[in-house]
């Protein structure tokens, strides 16, 4: 048993064990003079320090040193398994090339696919575990990890096996997603029937195999003009649902195509990106259980002058989550607190809205809001300690790493020494 005391604030995010909406997002439930007791990997109690010190007199103490204690961040959208970075595309975009144009020339996702196919599982595992450690160093305790740079059965299974090894060997909680529908592979684009054949192979071979091997909890599709159409996305996700997997959708990222409505129609757990969502899409999400996951780092990094309409979504009543979209093409950052900065400064969210979107609603976007995302009795002891007096400093010191330590299931995960903290090193 551990008793966390002497936090300047305990940001509990406590409340209903489901996604928060509208005015519910206005209160992330901050306690002062509070303590948190954990036992056997779960939160045992949270409340006034004096009371908990009496109740858990025998517990080992963790002195929070006047810092902010909160639920670990839940990053519900990443492509954290990849080979080489793609920095050359950043300069191409600066010179006027568009993201989709780079993809049409065989770069973009295709470049990562070529590279990933040439690497073995061991090498990918080594690269991904380093990147996971960096995500954890910024306060993240749950990471969704997508496949999608293999685009053949064997290469996709290779990626998902890496995800499984990560979840067995690392403390961070991993949620694996099959994204075989990330692109139409170049070899399939080369023949007239290739495109339809690839969709058929996803539906009748790849999804059933991934489900049978228990390698993914979600299936995702990049539904976007020029990639998968709404019709193709519908047939792929219907097959996934039939195989017993949960659904996600890259929807209305760059151009509107009705992706948000499709996600709602199919009962997807989340619709992600949404920078180009229509009014109908906003209304559909607001009236549904589907979480609207916003990824402001992507639009920033692509140099777009537009962001997802977070205020309209929240005011319509949609359940908004935030995530990094960590990937080599459009969002090469492991810094989740930086995404909170963008949420407040670009998406015009309040700090409370941003914090709940990155914890409780991130968990809801992964179907685990009943056990992850809040400091409340019975929830998993997934905690993050930040070198701040006030939680509003988290989005404020933008780009900084203020994370001092994290715990996952009650066990220390990332720990930063005093010297590293002073120097600002992860």
Q: Which residues bind ligand NIG (CB under 6 A)?
A: 79, 108-109, 112, 222, 250, 253, 298, 325, 327-330
The CA distance from 270 to 265, in Å, is 12
The CA distance from 303 to 415, in Å, is 34
State which residue has the least CB distance to ligand NIG: 329
User: Shortest approach of ligand NIG to residue 165 CB, angstroms?
Assistant: 22
User: Shortest approach of Fe ion to residue 224 CB, angstroms?
Assistant: 11
Report what 217 binds from Fe ion, ligand NIG, none; CB cut-off 5-8 Å by kind.
none
Q: Which is nearer to ligand NIG, 142 or 330 (CB)?
A: 330
The site map against Fe ion for 305-334 (x = CB under 5 A) is: --------------------x---------
Report what 108 binds from Fe ion, ligand NIG, none; CB cut-off 5-8 Å by kind.
ligand NIG
What backbone phi and psi angles, to 5 degrees, belong to 283? -60, -40
Report what 156 binds from ligand NIG, Fe ion, none; CB cut-off 5-8 Å by kind.
none
What backbone phi and psi angles, to 5 degrees, belong to 266? -90, 0
Report what 337 binds from ligand NIG, Fe ion, none; CB cut-off 5-8 Å by kind.
none
Q: Which is nearer to ligand NIG, 49 or 86 (CB)?
A: 86
User: Shortest approach of Fe ion to residue 238 CB, angstroms?
Assistant: 21
Q: Which of 415, 91, 22 is nearest to 425 (CA)?
A: 415
Q: Which is nearer to ligand NIG, 253 or 382 (CB)?
A: 253
Q: Which is nearer to ligand NIG, 173 or 250 (CB)?
A: 250
Positive or negative: CA dihedral 374, 375, 376, 380: positive
Q: Which is nearer to ligand NIG, 79 or 402 (CB)?
A: 79
User: Shortest approach of ligand NIG to residue 298 CB, angstroms?
Assistant: 5
Q: Which is nearer to ligand NIG, 255 or 311 (CB)?
A: 255
Report what 298 binds from ligand NIG, Fe ion, none; CB cut-off 5-8 Å by kind.
ligand NIG
Letter string b/e over residues 401-411, b meaning 16 or more CB atoms within 10 A of that residue's CB: bbbbbbbbbbe
Q: What is the DSSP letter of 404?
A: E
The CA distance from 269 to 284, in Å, is 14
Report what 246 binds from ligand NIG, Fe ion, none; CB cut-off 5-8 Å by kind.
none
- Looking at the chain, how many residues does it have? 426
Interface with Fe ion (CB under 5 A), residue total 1
Across the beta sheet with 60-63, the strand order is 42-48, 34-39, 2-5, 60-63
The answer to whether the CB of 221 falls within 8 A of the CB of 240 is no
The answer to whether the CB of 293 falls within 8 A of the CB of 365 is yes
User: Shortest approach of Fe ion to residue 341 CB, angstroms?
Assistant: 20
Q: Which is nearer to ligand NIG, 103 or 314 (CB)?
A: 103
User: Shortest approach of Fe ion to residue 371 CB, angstroms?
Assistant: 25
User: Shortest approach of ligand NIG to residue 300 CB, angstroms?
Assistant: 12
User: Shortest approach of ligand NIG to residue 388 CB, angstroms?
Assistant: 29
| Angle, helix 153-169 to helix 109-117, in steps of 10 degrees | 80
Q: Which is nearer to Fe ion, 183 or 353 (CB)?
A: 183
Report what 330 binds from Fe ion, ligand NIG, none; CB cut-off 5-8 Å by kind.
ligand NIG
The answer to whether the CB of 406 falls within 8 A of the CB of 136 is yes
Positive or negative: CA dihedral 232, 238, 244, 250: positive
Q: Which is nearer to ligand NIG, 56 or 228 (CB)?
A: 228
Cα angle value 10/15/20 (rounded, 5°): 110
User: Shortest approach of ligand NIG to residue 253 CB, angstroms?
Assistant: 5
Distances (CA, A) of 88 to 107, 109, 131, 295, 349: 10, 13, 20, 22, 32
In this structure, how many other beta carbons lie within 10 angstroms of the beta carbon of residue 18? 15
Bridge-based pairing of strands 270-273 and 140-146 is: unpaired
The residues binding Fe ion (CB under 5 A) are 325
């Amino acid at each position: 048993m551990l008793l966390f005391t002497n936090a300047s604030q305990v940001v509990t995010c406590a409340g209903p064990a489901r996604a928060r909406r509208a005015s519910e997002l206005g209160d992330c439930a901050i306690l002062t003079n509070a303590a948190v007791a954990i036992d056997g990997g779960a939160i045992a109690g949270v409340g006034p320090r004096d009371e908990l010190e009496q109740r858990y007199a025998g517990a080992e103490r963790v002195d929070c040193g006047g810092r902010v204690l909160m639920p670990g961040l839940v990053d519900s959208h990443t492509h954290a398994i990849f080979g080489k970075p793609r920095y050359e595309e950043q300069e191409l975009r600066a010179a006027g090339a568009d993201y989709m144009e780079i993809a049409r020339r065989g770069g973009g996702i295709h470049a990562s696919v070529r590279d990933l196919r040439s690497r073995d599982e061991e090498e990918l595992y080594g690269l991904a575990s380093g990147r996971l450690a960096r995500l954890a160093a910024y306060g993240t305790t749950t990471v969704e990890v997508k496949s999608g740079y293999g685009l053949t059965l064997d290469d996709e299974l290779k990626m998902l096996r890496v995800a499984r090894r990560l979840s067995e060997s690392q403390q961070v909680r991993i949620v694996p997603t099959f994204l075989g529908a990330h692109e139409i592979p170049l070899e399939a684009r080369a023949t007239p029937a290739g495109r339809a054949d690839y969709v058929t192979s996803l539906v009748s071979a790849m999804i059933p195999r991934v489900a049978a091997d228990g390698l993914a909890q979600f299936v995702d599709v990049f539904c976007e003009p020029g990639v998968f159409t709404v019709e193709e996305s519908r047939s792929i996700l219907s097959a996934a649902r039939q195989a017993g997997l949960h659904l996600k959708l890259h929807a209305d990222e760059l151009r509107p195509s009705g992706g948000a409505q499709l996600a709602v129609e199919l009962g997807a757990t989340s619709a992600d990106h949404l920078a180009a969502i229509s009014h109908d899409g906003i209304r559909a999400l607001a009236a549904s259980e589907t979480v609207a996951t916003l990824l402001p780092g992507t639009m920033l990094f692509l140099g777009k002058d537009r962001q997802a309409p977070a205020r309209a979504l929240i005011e319509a009543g949609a359940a908004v989550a935030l995530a990094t979209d960590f990937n080599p093409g459009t969002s090469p950052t492991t810094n989740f607190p930086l995404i909170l900065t963008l949420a407040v400064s670009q998406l015009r969210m309040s700090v409370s809205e941003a914090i709940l979107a990155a914890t409780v609603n991130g968990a809801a976007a992964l179907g685990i809001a009943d056990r992850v995302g809040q400091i409340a009795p019975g929830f998993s002891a997934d905690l993050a300690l930040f070198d701040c007096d006030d939680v509003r400093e988290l989005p404020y010191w933008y780009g900084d790493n203020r994370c001092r330590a994290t715990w996952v299931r009650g066990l220390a995960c990332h720990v930063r020494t005093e010297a590293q903290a002073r120097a600002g090193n992860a």
